[in-house]
């Protein structure tokens, strides 16, 4: 084919670290925190909190896009969006989602399957208030995922809103807020030589304890 490019010779040797089951904590959030800060402190990733969110759309197809993790704790992983967006509507119809992190400089991936729940309104309010005014106005300007007649229309709408809220507090719109992804399973992937990668799966049991399973690479 005229535009075909053969990538079969792309090769990488994975050898920067290992993942030993004897040395990991008994819950995935603690291990995620350790990995997150190791990547952050390495300075090797521009946005260590960038994660790929996959939902099942209203058309029945999966769709993935990059969003930003804004908080994580024992309850799960938090991001913010327009609830009327394509992903917001997809989550409303099917809250089972997958989020994943890929940190190539550290040869690591984390894959999280879970259920997304709307964040409490007061917590969404608090985060919205912390955003720069430009980002606050952006949430009001954009009918996210809907057709747009032109870039000029969007910029004109922004100018009108800037004038409307000059010197005033910008309220969080009801259709904008956070989701918490409550994990059901968390897989940690560490690249190893000869493609014999380390994979540890934390799986939540019926007793709400985590089972740790080593998977074949």
Q: Residues with catalytic annotation? A: 195
Q: 183: which residues sit within 8 A by CB, 6+ positions away?
A: 28, 76, 77, 112, 113, 114, 204
d(CA 55, CA 200): 23
Residue 63 CA to residue 86 CA, distance in Å, equals 10
Whether residue 8 contacts residue 98, with contact meaning beta carbons closer than 8 Å, is answered with no
Alpha-carbon separation of residue 205 from 27, 98, 183 (angstroms): 12, 18, 12
> Is 124 in contact with 70 (CB distance < 8 Å)?
no
Side-chain-side CA neighbours of 99 within 13 Å: the count stands at 25
CB atoms within 10 A of CB 134: 10
Say if CB 192 and CB 198 are below 8 A apart.
yes
């Amino acid at each position: 084919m005229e535009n075909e490019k053969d990538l079969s010779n792309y090769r990488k040797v994975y050898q920067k670290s290992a993942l030993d089951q004897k040395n990991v904590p008994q819950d995935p959030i603690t291990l995620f925190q350790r990995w997150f800060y190791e990547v952050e402190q390495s300075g090797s990733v521009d946005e260590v909190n960038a994660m790929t969110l996959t939902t099942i759309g209203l058309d029945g197809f999966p769709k993935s896009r990059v969003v930003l993790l804004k908080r994580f704790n024992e309850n799960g992983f938090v991001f913010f969006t327009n609830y009327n967006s394509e992903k917001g509507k997809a989550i409303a119809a099917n809250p089972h989602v997958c989020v994943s992190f890929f940190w190539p400089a550290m040869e690591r991936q984390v894959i999280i399957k879970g259920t997304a729940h709307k964040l409490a309104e007061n917590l969404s309010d608090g985060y919205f208030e912390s955003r720069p005014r430009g980002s606050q106005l952006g949430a009001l300007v954009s009918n996210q995922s809907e057709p747009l007649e032109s870039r000029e229309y969007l910029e004109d709408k922004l100018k009108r809103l800037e004038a409307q809220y000059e010197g005033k507090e910008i309220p969080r719109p009801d259709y904008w807020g956070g989701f918490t992804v409550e994990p059901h399973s968390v897989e940690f992937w560490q690249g190893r030589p000869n493609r014999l990668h380390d994979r540890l799966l934390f799986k939540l049991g019926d007793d709400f304890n985590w089972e740790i399973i080593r998977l074949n690479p």
